[in-house]
Copies of this chain bind each other. A is one copy, B any other.
Amino acid sequence: MTGEGTTSASAGAPAERRGRPRSPAVDTAVVETVLRLLEDGVGVAELSMERIAREAGVGKATVYRRWAGKEALMLDVLRSLDEAVPGPAGACVRDDLVALLEFLRRRGLAKRSSAVLRTVVAQVQARPALWAEYHDTVVAARREAFEAVLRRGMASGEIRADLDTELLTDLFVSPMLSRALFHEWRELPEGLSERIVDTLLEGVRPA
């Protein structure tokens, strides 16, 4: 969280820390301020270190004492988003899939979440490290949860076993994702998760 963790390869003991300790409140205040600004649609470009410090009510030097620059700060901001995805608890695979999509829907409804996602997407080209961090801390866990449910369904016969779980995950997730990205909380109505899952399960061709 302090950012030093990203660079401090100091394997040695941290030794004795003399003097006033760093306030943990500052770390959270800064990260929280960044999230709030992104949420308000500020855009990572207009986010200057100066403005972040100002709006967080924090000295600029205090920010630079913790993070080497905007890139390092953003990395920690993304790290702070790590979140537990719901485990499989439904009666059948279909319900588990709906639950996972419903989790995504509620996240997409939160301005914070979709704003951060948009920000990350915008940086895919320019700052691969940022995207990699987001993928590792947020995306990977979700994908793994989906694929686990799908594999379970394949074993139990509820899901065709001749399909690639990676492609299947995309088919389930990306409709929700696209709407959250493009339409921002609109177009994520109640019941959307069920419609996506059921349509995918049944297929589009008539029986």
Cross-chain contact A204 with B160 (CB below 8 angstroms): yes
7 interchain residue pairs of minimum CB distance? A203-B203, A45-B45, A122-B122, A41-B125, A174-B178, A174-B174, A170-B175
Cross-chain contact B184 with A124 (CB below 8 angstroms): yes
Cross-chain contact B201 with A203 (CB below 8 angstroms): yes
Does A66 lie at the interface of the complex (its beta carbon under 8 Å from any beta carbon of B)?
Answer: no
0/1 interface trace, chain A 180-207, chain B, CB 8 Å (1 if under): 0110100000000001100111111110
Does A163 lie at the interface of the complex (its beta carbon under 8 Å from any beta carbon of B)?
Answer: yes
With A121-B121, A174-B174 known to touch, is A204 a contact of B203 (CB < 8 Å)? yes
Q: Tell me, rounded to whole Å, the shortest Cβ–Cβ distance linking A141 to chain B.
A: 16
Cross-chain contact A202 with B201 (CB below 8 angstroms): no
Cross-chain contact B179 with A178 (CB below 8 angstroms): no
Number of copies: 2
With A174-B177, A175-B171 known to touch, is A205 a contact of B203 (CB < 8 Å)? yes
Give chain A's interface residues, CB within 8 Å of chain B.
41-46, 115, 118-119, 121-126, 131, 157-161, 163-164, 167-168, 170-171, 173-175, 177-179, 181-182, 184, 195-196, 199-206
The chain B residue sitting closest to A158, CB to CB, is B205
Cross-chain contact A159 with B205 (CB below 8 angstroms): yes
The chain B residue sitting closest to A176, CB to CB, is B174
With A119-B122, A199-B163 known to touch, is A206 a contact of B41 (CB < 8 Å)? no
Give me 15 A-to-B residue pairs in the complex whose CB atoms sit less than 8 angstroms apart, sorted by A's number.
A41-B125, A43-B126, A44-B45, A118-B121, A121-B182, A122-B122, A124-B181, A158-B206, A159-B206, A160-B204, A168-B199, A171-B171, A171-B175, A200-B200, A201-B204
